[in-house]
A and B are shown apart, each in its own frame.
Chain A
Amino acid sequence: NAGVTQTPKFQVLKTGQSMTLQCAQDMNHEYMSWYRQDPGMGLRLIHYSVGAGITDQGEVPNGYNVSRSTTEDFPLRLLSAAPSQTSVYFCASSYTGLAQETQYFGPGTRLLVL
Protein backbone atom coordinates (compact mmCIF):
# COMPACT_ATOMS: atom_id res chain seq x y z
CA ASN A 1 0.00 0.00 0.00
CA ALA A 2 1.92 3.04 -1.29
CA GLY A 3 -0.69 5.61 -0.18
CA VAL A 4 -0.53 8.85 -2.19
CA THR A 5 2.35 9.16 -4.63
CA GLN A 6 3.45 12.22 -6.61
CA THR A 7 5.86 12.66 -9.49
CA PRO A 8 8.16 14.39 -10.14
CA LYS A 9 9.67 15.44 -6.81
CA PHE A 10 11.27 18.51 -8.30
CA GLN A 11 10.87 20.34 -11.60
CA VAL A 12 12.29 23.46 -13.19
CA LEU A 13 10.29 25.11 -15.98
CA LYS A 14 10.72 28.15 -18.14
CA THR A 15 7.92 30.69 -18.39
CA GLY A 16 5.35 29.53 -20.95
CA GLN A 17 6.22 25.84 -20.80
CA SER A 18 3.58 23.26 -19.97
CA MET A 19 3.75 20.26 -17.72
CA THR A 20 1.66 17.74 -15.81
CA LEU A 21 2.10 16.90 -12.16
CA GLN A 22 1.10 13.34 -11.48
CA CYS A 23 -0.80 12.08 -8.46
CA ALA A 24 -1.95 8.55 -7.74
CA GLN A 25 -3.48 6.77 -4.76
CA ASP A 26 -4.07 3.08 -4.12
CA MET A 27 -6.56 3.39 -1.24
CA ASN A 28 -9.68 3.42 -3.43
CA HIS A 29 -10.47 6.96 -2.29
CA GLU A 30 -13.21 8.80 -4.15
CA TYR A 31 -12.02 12.27 -3.12
CA MET A 32 -8.77 13.75 -4.40
CA SER A 33 -7.45 17.28 -4.33
CA TRP A 34 -4.51 19.53 -5.16
CA TYR A 35 -3.02 22.20 -2.91
CA ARG A 36 -0.20 24.65 -3.29
CA GLN A 37 1.96 25.67 -0.35
CA ASP A 38 3.55 29.09 -0.29
CA PRO A 39 5.58 30.65 2.55
CA GLY A 40 3.39 32.29 5.18
CA MET A 41 0.17 31.29 3.43
CA GLY A 42 -0.43 27.73 4.49
CA LEU A 43 -1.97 25.43 1.89
CA ARG A 44 -4.53 26.67 -0.61
CA LEU A 45 -6.90 24.42 -2.54
CA ILE A 46 -6.49 24.48 -6.32
CA HIS A 47 -8.94 21.85 -7.62
CA TYR A 48 -10.69 18.84 -6.22
CA SER A 49 -12.62 15.79 -7.39
CA VAL A 50 -15.30 13.76 -5.62
CA GLY A 51 -15.09 10.87 -8.06
CA ALA A 52 -14.09 9.80 -11.54
CA GLY A 53 -15.40 12.28 -14.10
CA ILE A 54 -16.23 14.95 -11.50
CA THR A 55 -14.00 17.93 -10.76
CA ASP A 56 -14.50 21.37 -9.26
CA GLN A 57 -12.52 24.51 -8.54
CA GLY A 58 -10.96 25.40 -5.25
CA GLU A 59 -9.65 28.70 -3.95
CA VAL A 60 -6.89 29.34 -6.54
CA PRO A 61 -7.78 27.49 -9.80
CA ASN A 62 -6.52 29.98 -12.40
CA GLY A 63 -3.72 28.64 -14.58
CA TYR A 64 -4.39 25.00 -13.70
CA ASN A 65 -6.46 22.26 -15.30
CA VAL A 66 -7.47 18.87 -13.94
CA SER A 67 -9.32 15.78 -15.08
CA ARG A 68 -10.24 12.54 -13.34
CA SER A 69 -10.63 9.61 -15.70
CA THR A 70 -9.92 6.92 -13.08
CA THR A 71 -10.39 6.63 -9.33
CA GLU A 72 -6.64 6.23 -8.83
CA ASP A 73 -5.21 9.19 -10.76
CA PHE A 74 -5.67 12.95 -10.56
CA PRO A 75 -3.15 14.85 -12.69
CA LEU A 76 -2.66 18.61 -12.47
CA ARG A 77 -1.79 20.45 -15.69
CA LEU A 78 -0.06 23.76 -16.08
CA LEU A 79 -0.75 24.90 -19.65
CA SER A 80 1.56 27.93 -19.68
CA ALA A 81 3.73 28.19 -16.59
CA ALA A 82 4.28 31.56 -14.91
CA PRO A 83 6.77 32.54 -12.17
CA SER A 84 3.79 33.04 -9.82
CA GLN A 85 3.25 29.28 -10.00
CA THR A 86 6.56 28.60 -8.29
CA SER A 87 5.43 26.66 -5.25
CA VAL A 88 5.27 23.27 -3.58
CA TYR A 89 2.29 21.23 -4.74
CA PHE A 90 0.58 18.60 -2.64
CA CYS A 91 -1.96 16.04 -3.68
CA ALA A 92 -4.33 14.65 -1.06
CA SER A 93 -7.10 12.06 -0.91
CA SER A 94 -9.80 10.76 1.39
CA TYR A 95 -12.66 8.28 1.17
CA THR A 96 -15.46 10.65 0.28
CA GLY A 97 -14.25 14.16 1.15
CA LEU A 98 -16.72 14.58 3.99
CA ALA A 99 -15.82 17.19 6.59
CA GLN A 100 -14.72 14.87 9.39
CA GLU A 101 -12.47 12.65 7.27
CA THR A 102 -8.70 12.57 7.46
CA GLN A 103 -6.91 13.74 4.34
CA TYR A 104 -3.87 11.72 3.23
CA PHE A 105 -1.14 13.77 1.60
CA GLY A 106 1.54 12.90 -0.91
CA PRO A 107 5.18 13.92 -0.43
CA GLY A 108 4.88 16.98 -2.68
CA THR A 109 6.31 18.33 -5.92
CA ARG A 110 8.58 21.37 -5.75
CA LEU A 111 8.15 23.51 -8.88
CA LEU A 112 10.39 26.38 -9.91
CA VAL A 113 9.31 28.55 -12.85
CA LEU A 114 12.01 30.81 -14.25
Chain B
Amino acid sequence: GDSVTQMEGPVTLSEEAFLTINCTYTATGYPSLFWYVQYPGEGLQLLLKATKADDKGSNKGFEATYRKETTSFHLEKGSVQVSDSAVYFCALSDESSYKLIFGSGTRLLVRP
Protein backbone atom coordinates (compact mmCIF):
# COMPACT_ATOMS: atom_id res chain seq x y z
CA GLY B 1 0.00 0.00 0.00
CA ASP B 2 0.89 3.67 -0.12
CA SER B 3 3.36 4.93 2.46
CA VAL B 4 5.48 7.91 3.44
CA THR B 5 8.91 7.80 5.04
CA GLN B 6 10.55 10.85 6.52
CA MET B 7 13.75 11.39 8.43
CA GLU B 8 13.67 10.87 12.14
CA GLY B 9 14.21 13.78 14.43
CA PRO B 10 14.71 15.74 16.34
CA VAL B 11 16.59 18.09 14.09
CA THR B 12 18.34 20.84 16.03
CA LEU B 13 19.66 23.89 14.18
CA SER B 14 20.92 27.33 14.99
CA GLU B 15 18.99 30.33 13.76
CA GLU B 16 19.72 31.20 10.09
CA ALA B 17 20.95 27.68 9.32
CA PHE B 18 19.84 25.78 6.20
CA LEU B 19 17.13 23.18 6.69
CA THR B 20 16.45 19.96 4.81
CA ILE B 21 13.92 17.38 5.95
CA ASN B 22 13.86 14.32 3.72
CA CYS B 23 10.64 12.68 2.61
CA THR B 24 10.18 9.75 0.25
CA TYR B 25 6.97 8.00 -0.72
CA THR B 26 5.57 4.83 -2.20
CA ALA B 27 2.39 5.05 -4.23
CA THR B 28 0.83 3.11 -7.08
CA GLY B 29 -0.84 6.07 -8.76
CA TYR B 30 -0.14 9.77 -9.06
CA PRO B 31 -0.51 11.18 -5.57
CA SER B 32 -0.66 14.74 -4.37
CA LEU B 33 2.07 15.55 -1.85
CA PHE B 34 1.85 17.79 1.19
CA TRP B 35 3.86 19.20 4.05
CA TYR B 36 1.86 19.96 7.18
CA VAL B 37 3.26 21.73 10.24
CA GLN B 38 2.18 21.35 13.86
CA TYR B 39 3.20 24.10 16.26
CA PRO B 40 3.27 23.25 19.97
CA GLY B 41 -0.19 22.64 21.39
CA GLU B 42 -1.95 23.16 18.08
CA GLY B 43 -3.49 21.14 15.29
CA LEU B 44 -1.90 20.61 11.90
CA GLN B 45 -1.94 23.25 9.20
CA LEU B 46 -0.92 23.07 5.59
CA LEU B 47 2.54 24.44 4.86
CA LEU B 48 2.74 23.66 1.14
CA LYS B 49 1.67 21.14 -1.46
CA ALA B 50 2.33 19.90 -4.97
CA THR B 51 -0.17 18.01 -7.07
CA LYS B 52 1.91 16.75 -10.00
CA ALA B 53 5.45 15.79 -10.91
CA ASP B 54 8.02 18.62 -11.06
CA ASP B 55 5.69 21.03 -9.26
CA LYS B 56 7.33 23.13 -6.57
CA GLY B 57 5.32 24.10 -3.53
CA SER B 58 6.44 27.11 -1.51
CA ASN B 59 5.26 29.10 1.49
CA LYS B 60 6.87 31.19 4.26
CA GLY B 61 10.35 30.58 2.80
CA PHE B 62 9.89 26.80 2.71
CA GLU B 63 10.08 24.88 -0.57
CA ALA B 64 9.61 21.32 -1.76
CA THR B 65 9.73 19.85 -5.27
CA TYR B 66 7.71 16.82 -6.36
CA ARG B 67 10.33 14.44 -7.80
CA LYS B 68 8.65 11.44 -9.40
CA GLU B 69 11.92 9.87 -10.57
CA THR B 70 13.22 9.66 -6.99
CA THR B 71 9.77 9.49 -5.32
CA SER B 72 10.78 12.33 -3.04
CA PHE B 73 9.38 15.60 -1.68
CA HIS B 74 12.14 17.02 0.50
CA LEU B 75 11.41 20.16 2.52
CA GLU B 76 13.99 22.98 2.46
CA LYS B 77 14.41 26.44 3.91
CA GLY B 78 17.42 28.65 3.41
CA SER B 79 17.44 30.38 6.80
CA VAL B 80 15.41 29.04 9.71
CA GLN B 81 14.04 31.10 12.56
CA VAL B 82 13.25 30.21 16.16
CA SER B 83 9.57 30.52 15.24
CA ASP B 84 9.97 27.60 12.80
CA SER B 85 10.34 25.20 15.73
CA ALA B 86 7.55 22.67 15.22
CA VAL B 87 6.81 19.16 14.02
CA TYR B 88 6.71 18.73 10.24
CA PHE B 89 4.69 16.00 8.57
CA CYS B 90 5.03 14.81 5.00
CA ALA B 91 1.83 13.33 3.58
CA LEU B 92 0.34 12.00 0.38
CA SER B 93 -3.15 11.62 -0.93
CA ASP B 94 -3.76 9.10 -3.64
CA GLU B 95 -6.08 10.09 -6.45
CA SER B 96 -8.06 6.86 -6.05
CA SER B 97 -8.95 7.24 -2.38
CA TYR B 98 -10.10 9.79 0.16
CA LYS B 99 -7.25 9.03 2.51
CA LEU B 100 -4.36 11.24 3.59
CA ILE B 101 -1.33 9.13 4.54
CA PHE B 102 1.22 10.69 6.87
CA GLY B 103 4.84 10.13 7.66
CA SER B 104 5.87 9.82 11.29
CA GLY B 105 6.79 13.49 11.65
CA THR B 106 10.09 15.30 12.20
CA ARG B 107 10.56 17.61 15.14
CA LEU B 108 12.59 20.73 14.39
CA LEU B 109 14.15 22.79 17.17
CA VAL B 110 15.79 26.07 16.23
CA ARG B 111 18.05 27.65 18.84
CA PRO B 112 18.73 31.41 18.97
Contacts and interface: CB of A to CB of B under 8 A. Distances in A.
Interface string B75-112: 00000000000000100011101111111110000000
A108 B46 contact: no
A45 interface: yes
A107 B103 CA distance: 19
Contact of A105 (B44, B98, B101, B104): B44
Interface residues of B, number: 25
Contacts of B36: 103, 105
Given A31-B98, A40-B104, A58-B99, A99 B32 contact: yes
Contacts of A40: 104
A42 B46 contact: no
Contacts of B93: 99-101
Interface of B: 4, 31-32, 34, 36, 42-46, 49, 51, 89, 93-95, 97-105
